[in-house]
Amino acid sequence: MSRRFPLWMFTSLAFLFPMTSAHSLDFTDRHLIDLLWIVNDGVMGGVSQSRVRHEPEGLVFEGDVSLRNNGGFASMRSPAAFAVGTQRLQLTVRGDGQRYKLVLRTEASTRAPLYQCDFIATPDWQTLHFVPADFRARFRGQSVDAPALVFADVKELGILIADKQAGTFRVQIKTVQGEAGSAR
C-alpha cells in the first residue's frame, strides 16, 4: 500500500476528518487507516516489507526490515495537524522492544527535511512526551540545518524503523495528542 497525496489533500483533511483535528490523532478510529500510506526502502532499491492494519486498541504497523540491496527501513505516514500553541506531543504506544522514530514533516515537498526523535516501543502501553527540542532535522538519513520545529507547522506524522534493525517488527499506536502549555 503506497500512496502519495497532493498538498491540497493535507489542507482538506484537517477540515473533513475529526482524527486529524488540531489536537490529536486517534488511531483507534478504523477509518484513519484509509488515510495512511507506507514508505519503505523499496523507493531506493531495498526489499523491506510493511503494512498497517486496524485493531480496536490502535493501529498496528508491522513487517520485516531487510538489509539486502542496501535497504534497511520501513515507515508509515499519516496526515496530521496540531493547534497553534502546541508545546508537547504525547504518544501512546506499545511494541516489541525495538527502537523507532517518531517522524514529523512540516512541508509537503519530499525535498524538505524530516524531524525525527527516537523512542523504544516497550511491550506494555506507555505514554511518551516530546517537545520540539527532542527532534533532529534529517534529510535522507543525514543531519541537516533546518528551522526549529514548531508543532503547529506539522503536516505529516510517521513511524520509522531503521538503523540496521533487520528482522520482523511490530508496533501499535493508540493516539498522538498535542498539548499546550510549558515545554516540559
What class, spelled out in words, does domain 7-180 have in CATH?
A: mainly beta
Residue 32 or 10, more confident = 32
Count the Cβ atoms, other than its own, within 10 Å of residue 43.
Answer: 11
Q: What confidence tens digit (pLDDT) does each residue in 150-183 have?
A: 999 999 999 999 999 999 999 999 999 999 976 5
Angle at alpha carbon of residue 141, lines to 137 and 144, rounded to 5°: 35
Q: 3-state DSSP call for residue 122?
A: coil
Which residue in 34, 31, 72 sits closest to 50, CA to CA?
Answer: 72
**Which pLDDT score is estimated for 81?**
94
**Which pLDDT score is estimated for 11?**
38
Name the residue ranges covered by the structural domains of the chain. Answer: 7-180
Q: What confidence tens digit (pLDDT) does each residue in 111-134 have?
A: 899 999 999 999 999 999 999 999
Residue 103 or 23, more confident = 103
pLDDT mean across residues, the chain: 88
**Which pLDDT score is estimated for 183?**
53
Which residue in 164, 156, 157, 167 sits closest to 62, CA to CA?
Answer: 167
pTM: 0.85
Query: Which residues are registered as beta bridge partners of 137?
Result: 115
22: pLDDT strictly greater than 70: no
**Which pLDDT score is estimated for 182?**
60
**Residues in contact with 147: Cβ distance below 8 Å, sequence separation at least 6, in sequence order:** none
Mean pLDDT calculated for residue range 88-100: 98
DSSP state at residue 149: P
